[in-house]
């Protein structure tokens, strides 16, 4: 089933850069990022974590490289994974050079904290020589002293001034393959800073609410902040910062994009909160289905509704639907039409099989379309 959103979000126009094989900005899809939390020196553990993030749908993964041993491990990490790797650099400009040499697709730096202008020039040269882009990462918690003295505290104007000041460092070197972030843990501060920055330049923006908190609180804060920006058309790539596993950050990021019809991936579950009318245990059923269907990457909509009050209507707008009935027998819908019934004890396995069959069909169609002469020419 195709669905036309009532409102089409008009994205801010930005220039386009490349992070490895991923385009960022311009008309490219908004990419989803996360960051590893394993010791980078432990290449095996870091590679395994990145692969889990890949399965969850990460387009780009950031890795901290604070030591020479970590940049040495980056060689193996980059070679063994499929997503572009961003090297996270603070203070040590040589780590940035080593990371570029190791194959990082992007260097996350703060030009003001890696030393003199000559050192910035060396980092830019390394990025240019090795095909790296750069992310200028400004954070409310680590603003430059002269800006804190000028403004008295972190505020949107200070964050934007810092970002543009750093951008000037790179532009002075004739380098414009960079994106910018102006993160804060306060939703209002971060959103206001991004709004101002979006009007002040056309560089692609990496958006995020930094240090948002644990899984529940951080998801809510990020959804409010990033949702506001995305709805306004601001943001070319994003990271949801949670005190949770990186795969969870990826999953939440995708849910945001799916909710705003900006990108589509995996199973979109529409389910009711349940009430006394439910014909089956909706909450447990949805939990089981989300777990069992997490591996699906094809865009599929699934409605799980406990009774006939809203069930048939929701099923009209989803690829597959399940509506609770009486006596342990429930109605299954396919492409908006009643199809057949299923018993409670069989329904989870049955719905999983239907979704997997639908996913296989979509994948086959997509691969066949990619092989057409017109697609190949494009």
**What's the confidence (pLDDT) of residue 310?**
87
**What's the confidence (pLDDT) of residue 143?**
87
3-state DSSP call for residue 128?
helix
Burial (CB < 10 A; 0-12, 13-18, 19+), residue 304, is: buried
Closest to 308 in 3D by CA, of 330, 284, 296, 324: 324
CATH topology of domain 267-370: Sulfite Reductase Hemoprotein; domain 1 (3.30.413)
CATH topology of domain 17-259: TIM Barrel (3.20.20)
* Residue 231 to residue 9: CA distance in whole angstroms: 6
Q: Where in the chain is the domain with CATH 3.20.20.20?
A: 17-259
Q: In residues, how long is the chain?
A: 378
pLDDT digits (tens, 9 = 90+) for 269-323: 999 999 999 999 999 999 999 999 999 999 999 999 999 988 899 988 999 999 9
Tokens standing for residue 37: 């939390």
* Residue 24 to residue 29: CA distance in whole angstroms: 7
Query: At residue 178, does pLDDT exceed 50?
Result: yes
In which band, very low, low, confident or very high, does the pLDDT at 2 lie, cut at 50, 70 and 90? very low
Query: Distances from the Cα of 286 to the Cαs of 80, 84, 346, 348, in angstroms?
Result: 35, 33, 14, 9
**What's the confidence (pLDDT) of residue 91?**
79
The strands making up 300-305's β-sheet, listed across from edge to edge, are 267-271, 300-305, 320-323, 329-334, 337-343
Query: At residue 376, does pLDDT exceed 70?
Result: no
**Across 347-368, average pLDDT:** 95
pLDDT digits (tens, 9 = 90+) for 266-276: 999 999 999 99
Q: Where in the chain is the domain with CATH 3.30.413.10?
A: 267-370
**What's the confidence (pLDDT) of residue 374?**
58
3-state DSSP call for residue 272?
coil
In which band, very low, low, confident or very high, does the pLDDT at 53 lie, cut at 50, 70 and 90? very high
**What's the confidence (pLDDT) of residue 111?**
63
Tokens standing for residue 163: 């970002």
**Within its chain, how far is the Cα of 339 from the centroid?**
36
Q: Please, what is the average pLDDT of the chain?
A: 93
Q: Please give the biggest Cα pair distance in the chain.
A: 76
DSSP letter at 173 equals T
pLDDT digits (tens, 9 = 90+) for 84-108: 999 999 878 899 999 999 999 999 9
**What's the confidence (pLDDT) of residue 110?**
77
User: 14 and 203 in contact (C-beta within 8 Å)?
Assistant: yes
Output phi, psi for 354, to 5 deg: -65, -45
**What's the confidence (pLDDT) of residue 373?**
66
In which band, very low, low, confident or very high, does the pLDDT at 120 lie, cut at 50, 70 and 90? confident
**Across 348-370, average pLDDT:** 94
**Across 106-122, average pLDDT:** 81
**Across 132-154, average pLDDT:** 92
**What's the confidence (pLDDT) of residue 255?**
95
pLDDT digits (tens, 9 = 90+) for 324-338: 998 999 999 999 899
**Across 333-351, average pLDDT:** 95
Tokens standing for residue 71: 């940049």
Tokens standing for residue 348: 């989870």
Considering the chain, what percentage of its residues have pLDDT values greater than 70? 96
């Amino acid at each position: 089933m195709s669905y036309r959103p009532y409102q089409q979000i008009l994205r801010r126009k930005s220039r386009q850069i490349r992070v490895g094989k991923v385009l960022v900005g311009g008309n490219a899809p908004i990419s989803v990022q996360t960051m590893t939390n394993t010791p980078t020196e432990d290449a095996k553990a870091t590679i395994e974590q990145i692969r889990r993030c890949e399965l969850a749908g990460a387009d780009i993964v950031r890795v901290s490289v604070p030591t020479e041993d970590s940049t040495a491990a980056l060689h193996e990490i980059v070679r063994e994974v499929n997503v572009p790797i961003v090297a996270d650099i603070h203070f040590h400009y040589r780590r940035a050079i080593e990371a570029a040499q190791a194959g990082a697709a992007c260097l996350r730096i703060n030009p003001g904290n890696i030393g003199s202008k000559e050192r910035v020039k060396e980092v830019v040269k390394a990025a240019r020589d090795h095909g790296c882009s750069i992310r200028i990462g400004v954070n409310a918690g680590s603003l430059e002293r002269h800006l804190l003295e000028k403004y008295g505290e972190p505020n949107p104007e200070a964050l934007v001034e810092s970002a543009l000041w750093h951008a000037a460092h790179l532009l002075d070197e004739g380098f414009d393959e960079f994106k910018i972030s102006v993160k804060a843990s306060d939703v209002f501060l971060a959103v206001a800073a991004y709004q101002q920055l979006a009007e002040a330049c056309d560089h692609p923006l990496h958006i995020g609410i930094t240090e948002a908190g644990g899984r529940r609180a951080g998801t809510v804060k990020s959804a409010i902040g990033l949702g506001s920006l995305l709805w306004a058309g601001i943001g070319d790539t994003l990271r949801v910062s949670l005190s949770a596993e990186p795969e969870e950050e990826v999953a939440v990021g995708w849910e945001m994009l799916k909710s705003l019809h900006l990108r589509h991936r995996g199973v979109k579950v529409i389910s009711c909160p349940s009430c006394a009318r439910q014909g089956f245990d909706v909450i447990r059923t949805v939990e089981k289905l989300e777990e069992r269907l997490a591996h699906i990457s094809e865009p599929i909509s699934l409605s799980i509704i406990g009774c006939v009050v809203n069930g048939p209507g929701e099923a009209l707008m989803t690829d597959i639907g399940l509506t609770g009935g009486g006596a342990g027998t429930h109605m299954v819908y396919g492409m908006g039409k009643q199809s057949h019934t299923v018993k409670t004890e069989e329904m989870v396995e049955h719905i999983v099989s239907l979704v997997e069959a639908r996913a296989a069909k979509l994948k086959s169609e997509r691969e066949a379309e990619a092989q057409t002469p017109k697609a190949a020419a494009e």
